[in-house]
Structure 1
């Protein structure tokens, strides 16, 4: 299986558990690894035969900007659900970073992997 990836998609959102975090927008960074078979697209050289990563990015930006979760875990799970169910992929790995969340650390976050079975139970 091949992988289509998207790295460091930065989006402003409300995220966090503290009162001050609920009043501001913070940047999160999204990295995706999406399972795909790219052989047909490589042969045809046509966007219709592959996953349109621009469409994925646009959908995630819209969702994340409008969201207001307390936990990065919840946001990562919802991102995975969108990618798997709306873009018909079999597996996605989502790494979600929250830069500057811990003093002394560049960022913190979560990394999850989900498949179609996780959303079609």
Structure 2
């Protein structure tokens, strides 16, 4: 018997206006987003209508990233997490957002936010 399921979106690449520095307010930056959404197990077999769709999760991330300038990566991660917890059956979520092109010598900088319903 399955106790829980985790929906995974890994390495979703977006461009958005994010950051506190002046140049980050007018030029889009590349960000990488991972979402791990724990959901209650489905009770109705192989029915797409009974699960959270990957496409819906990706659409939420795109909508929030396209919603104008955001100062903090933490803010975007918290907004994504809160929206994901609104899906039916959502139990908990972990959202990681990385900015890969920020500091020379660092592969990426970012944050992970975890929320539980």
Distance change >3 Å, CA 83–CA 67, structure 1 → 2 = farther
What residue in structure 2 maps to residue 108 of structure 1? 109
Counterpart Cα distance in 1 of 2:34 and 2:84: 12
Going by fraction, where is helix more abundant, 1 or 2? 1
Counterpart Cα distance in 1 of 2:6 and 2:68: 27
Which SS does the other structure have where 1:92 is aligned?
strand
Aligned Cα root-mean-square deviation (Å): 1.4
Runs (5+) with no aligned partner, structure 2: none
What residue in structure 2 maps to residue 9 of structure 1? 12
Counterpart Cα distance in 2 of 1:18 and 1:59: 26
Would you identify which runs of 4 or more consecutive aligned residues in structure 1 move more than 4 Å? Answer: none
Q: Out of 11-20 and 56-65, give the one that drifted further.
A: 56-65
What residue in structure 1 maps to residue 61 of structure 2? 60
**TM-score between the two structures when normalised by the length of structure 2:** 0.89
What residue in structure 1 maps to residue 43 of structure 2? 40
TM-aligned CA deviation for residue 39 of structure 1: 4.2
Query: Size of the alignment, in residue pairs?
Result: 113
Counterpart Cα distance in 1 of 2:71 and 2:11: 21
- Residue deviations 1:52-106 (CA, integer Å, cap 9, x gap): 1111111221221223111111111111111112x13120000111111111111
